[in-house]
Structure 1
Amino acid sequence: MKITKYGAIDIGSNAVRLLVANVIEEDDKEPKFKKSSLVRVPIRLGADAFVSGKISEENTHRMIDAMEAFKLIMKVHGVQKYKACATSAMREAENGNEIANTILTKTGVEIDIIDGKKEAAIISSTDLNQLIESDATYLYVDVGGGSTEFTLFSSGKIINSKSFKIGTVRLINNKKSENKAIFKKVQKWIEENTKNYKRISLIGSGGNINKIFKMSGRELGKPISYIYLNAQYQFLKKMTYKERISELSLNPDRADVIVPATKIYLSAMKWSGARKIFVPKIGLSDGIIKSLYYNKL
């Protein structure tokens, strides 16, 4: 048996995460990917990028501190290889590349600012093939702070994939008219791509749907129904931001974005005709680990 430790840094629009995973190799067996540690820090880069168009000096310093801390954590874990990827906030900030260069100079951490297509491809390289039935159809929805990736799978193959600028932090900061317009674009894409398929199920990824799944108390692998998710949405929407923190024990940076995130999942279910959503707890960082192992990054 051989165990190798890998690290994945996911620099999102709502938070920055470090995943440390063990890759376990045994003779004549498929490698196993086991999460060892997950650290999440609430640096909301999207609040900068989607409002002022630039990453602030304060958040730049916080990012430098986070990368230094992540390096130490990886050192303690004995991580042999890691990769840092940044998504829509860094991608859209006019000083995104400048910030990435500053972080490289100060910390030695090289950040790959990836586009929506590459983000969707990395996410799709996760263990989805072990979760989906070979003859079924699924719409995979990964909701982030700045963008949402949609991938349609049928009979085990990717039919189509698209990234939209419809993320939780963006929805909070955008004008209502802007949000309405982007929802219409998403609706058109989903309806056009799913119209020839029956009995579609959703696969949801992202911190918000993971939290809702945890709150549901359901057994891992069991889906959430449209009716349940809609009830949760109505319940969360009626609560104030402070009530979500005090009564539901949500983190402050989760308590506001969980409502628009739930709306995105619900809308995707409605437009695709899906009646249930599976929540396998996988995302970009898991995809980075797998891509590193198979030398795709």
Structure 2
Amino acid sequence: MLKIKKYGAIDIGSNAIRLLVANVISKKNSEPQIKKSSLVRVPIRLGADVFVKGKISKANEKRMIDAMNAFQLLMNVHGVENYRACATSAMREASNGNEVIDSVLDKTGIQIDLIDGKTEAEIIFSTDLADVIKEDKSYLYVDVGGGSTEFTVFSNGKLINSKSFKIGTVRLLNKVVDKKKLWPEIKDWIKSNTQGMRKVTVIGSGGNINKIFKMSGRQPGKPLSFIYLSAHYQFLKQMSYDERVTELSLNPDRADVIIPATKIYLNAMKWSNSNKIIVPKIGLSDGIIKTLHQSEI
């Protein structure tokens, strides 16, 4: 007998806030299928507040409340049966983060969970990442966000090590990263954790690498080479912000962060001696949907 449940996932990031609505289709003796029904992305750049001034501004708090009210209505219309809202780097570091969470709950009824980098990685790993990882290969998983980047090394089907660094696209744009200190730390971590591994493949996660992959015209499942990504990085850099918006049709809040994001992926590939990056369509919101379903089985 076919069973269909509808779930909602709210991802409150440093660069944008997303609502994913998905159907989970279950059938006896079969793996459940997740079908995305709707994805709404709102460009509320919380990181621009937090990483520079240390707190969420009143203006962005109001925008968050408006967004959550809209998400609540959309979930009602879609008939969502269960949902979870997770906040990452920017909300964790905001001095008024808990106050904003209480305000959102009071005005919208939506409870926001503050999650750390480790929990964020665990939620993402609950997705179909296991289908990508082959037991006889080595991988460096790189999830680039607005406030932090998670690095995880897999080899022979096992998780070797994982670490979150406070380097992200919004932090880099706002020049609040000590690059002289942090880049060498990341380089040392990647090199020491991939030492002795042959042919490391980078797995890229995040909105920017998904956009780059879409722009490449590659078929799903096909990797991007280091040479391609490096050339694309130079191509993006030589264009002005206005040109990236008008000629490449990038969203205004994507046209600036895409450059520092590409730099992070390139460095990860270089330091792990990887010549290719694969881009499965997975992220925090996908993981939230899957973990919600698994918790009810």
- Asked whether the equivalents of residues 90 and 96 of structure 1 are also in contact (C-alpha less than 8 Å), the reply is yes
Q: Distance in 1 between matches of 2:182 and 2:163?
A: 13
- Asked whether the equivalents of residues 120 and 162 of structure 1 are also in contact (C-alpha less than 8 Å), the reply is no
Identity rate, percent: 69
Structure 1: gaps spanning 5 or more residues: none
- Asked whether the equivalents of residues 47 and 147 of structure 2 are also in contact (C-alpha less than 8 Å), the reply is yes
Number of residue-to-residue matches in the alignment: 295
Residue type at the aligned position of 1:75: N
Q: Where do 4+ consecutive residues of structure 1 move more than 2 Å?
A: none
Question: Could you say which residue in structure 1 is the equivalent of 2:209?
Answer: 209
Question: Could you say which residue in structure 2 is the equivalent of 1:282?
Answer: 282
Q: Distance in 2 between matches of 1:243 and 1:198?
A: 40
Q: Distance in 1 between matches of 2:45 and 2:87?
A: 13
Question: Could you say which residue in structure 1 is the equivalent of 2:168?
Answer: 167
> Is 1:146 the counterpart of 2:135 in the alignment?
no
Question: Could you say which residue in structure 2 is the equivalent of 1:37?
Answer: 38
Per-residue CA shift, 1:225-283, capped at 9, x if unaligned?
A: 00000000011011111110011010100000000000000000000011100011111
- Asked whether the equivalents of residues 25 and 33 of structure 2 are also in contact (C-alpha less than 8 Å), the reply is yes
Question: Could you say which residue in structure 1 is the equivalent of 2:69?
Answer: 68
Aligned pairs for 1:1-297 within 5 A: 1-175=2-176, 178-295=178-295
- Asked whether the equivalents of residues 151 and 158 of structure 1 are also in contact (C-alpha less than 8 Å), the reply is yes
Q: Distance in 2 between matches of 1:111 and 1:285?
A: 14
Structure 2-normalised TM-score? Answer: 0.97
- Deviation at residue 180 of structure 1 after TM alignment: 2.9
- Asked whether the equivalents of residues 52 and 176 of structure 2 are also in contact (C-alpha less than 8 Å), the reply is no
- Deviation at residue 134 of structure 1 after TM alignment: 2.0
- Asked whether the equivalents of residues 51 and 176 of structure 2 are also in contact (C-alpha less than 8 Å), the reply is no
Per-residue CA shift, 1:130-158, capped at 9, x if unaligned?
A: 12222111111110000011111112221
- Asked whether the equivalents of residues 136 and 156 of structure 2 are also in contact (C-alpha less than 8 Å), the reply is yes
Per-residue CA shift, 1:8-60, capped at 9, x if unaligned?
A: 00000000000111111011101111211110000000000000000000000
Moved more, 242-251 or 118-127: 118-127
SS in 2 for 1:14: coil
Q: Distance in 2 between matches of 1:35 and 1:184?
A: 39
Structure 1-normalised TM-score? Answer: 0.97
Per-residue CA shift, 1:66-122, capped at 9, x if unaligned?
A: 001001111111110000000000000100111001000110100001111111111
SS in 2 for 1:51: helix
SS in 2 for 1:273: coil
Q: Distance in 2 between matches of 1:27 and 1:160?
A: 36
Structure 2: gaps spanning 5 or more residues: none
- Deviation at residue 175 of structure 1 after TM alignment: 4.8
Superposition RMSD in Å: 1.0
